[in-house]
Amino acid sequence: MPFRHRFRRSLPFLPPLPPLHSAYPVLDVSAVIPRTAPPAEVLRAALDALERGERVVVATVIARQGSAPCTPGQKLALFQAGAAIGTVGGGAVEKAVLRAMADALAAAAPPPRVDTFRLGPSLGMCCGGSAEILIEPLSPDLAVLVVGAGHVGVYLAPLLASLGFGVTLCDAREVAADPARLPRPPGGAEASPRLRLLQAEHDDPEVRASLPADLGRAAALVMTHDHQLDQAVIEWALGVGFGFVGGVGSRAKAARTRARLEAKGASAADITRVRMPLGVDVGARSPAEIGVAIAAELVSWRAGLNGSRRGARASGHGEIEKEEDA
């Protein structure tokens, strides 16, 4: 049976999801002694943490006035496990900077900021100078698991990767998981390093290994070739704690999905947060257009988590009646 989507414009409004996490525990940095390292090594360590899916805060001395041990260009990184590397001058000023970094690491969506530290009585110092230090919180790419490398999945996954998400696309079918099915980047560019294509079931160890430990800030998007498999994957995604769970399907399919979740004892909160129909209503019809609609909803969700959304709304993109997606 050929691939076909049926689109209707009348659909219920789905309110945007609130951020799952509002804050993290504040680290006690009173006993932290950073490991000495030059700025380049500090940056490498920060990038390694981001690639592991961990948050990190980097402090950089950008200016110094008067007598102060801080040197412009010095860097210090604080990791969510409590370790630190680098220096911004040592002593009391470094302790004060570490406290500011710990506060930034604990906030839900802190912006970068420049703090001025005056090396006087308030820090128990008599240098008399001051230093301006950039406190820069860094978060890893939000992870997205796309389950199903059908017509929509192979367009959506590279698009999400190009938008800065860390994407894993999985499908247990050998033919579906063929990298040749992915759209070629323009100009013969290399495939995005943010995209992994795996021939695997959604709950296989290699899929879980590609995702961060904190699934509360990760999304699971379900669009397999089989409706019963869709249902099973949605139930699994809710059970393991994905912060965003969405599925491709019609309004009727969405109602059946929620009814089955209710019959299996899923909580009302979990049932409500299943995003189906998935995607912003842009009049999408083709697989590529539907991929754009879904990507738009993910961008809106990310903006909400980062505190940068300004009146954006996420809603289903219309009724998608999946006849066959592979």
Residue-wise pLDDT tens digits, 221-280: 999 999 999 999 999 999 999 999 999 999 999 999 999 999 999 999 999 999 999 999
| Interval 3-14 mean pLDDT | 35
Encoded tokens for 90: 């040592």
CA distance 86 to 44: 11
Half-sphere exposure of 147 (CA within 13 A, CB side): 26
Of the candidates 109, 140, 117, which has an alpha carbon nearest to the alpha carbon of residue 61? 117
pLDDT > 70 fraction of the chain, expressed in percent and rounded: 84
Q: 278: how many CB neighbours lie within 10 A of its CB?
A: 29
Which has the higher per-residue pLDDT, 316 or 102?
A: 102
pLDDT at residue number 213 = 84
Per-residue pLDDT band at 187 (split at 50, 70, 90): low
| Interval 154-178 mean pLDDT | 96
Tell me the pairing of strands 195-198 and 218-222.
unpaired
CA distance 194 to 51: 10
Residue-wise pLDDT tens digits, 32-61: 999 999 999 999 999 999 888 889 999 999
Please determine, for residue 176, whether its predicted confidence score (pLDDT) is greater than 50: yes
Min mean pLDDT across 84-98, 181-195, 203-217, 299-313 is at 299-313
pLDDT at residue number 44 = 97
Please determine, for residue 123, whether its predicted confidence score (pLDDT) is greater than 80: no
CA distance 168 to 92: 44
| Interval 148-153 mean pLDDT | 96
Min mean pLDDT across 113-122, 140-149, 184-193, 304-313 is at 304-313
Please determine, for residue 219, whether its predicted confidence score (pLDDT) is greater than 80: yes
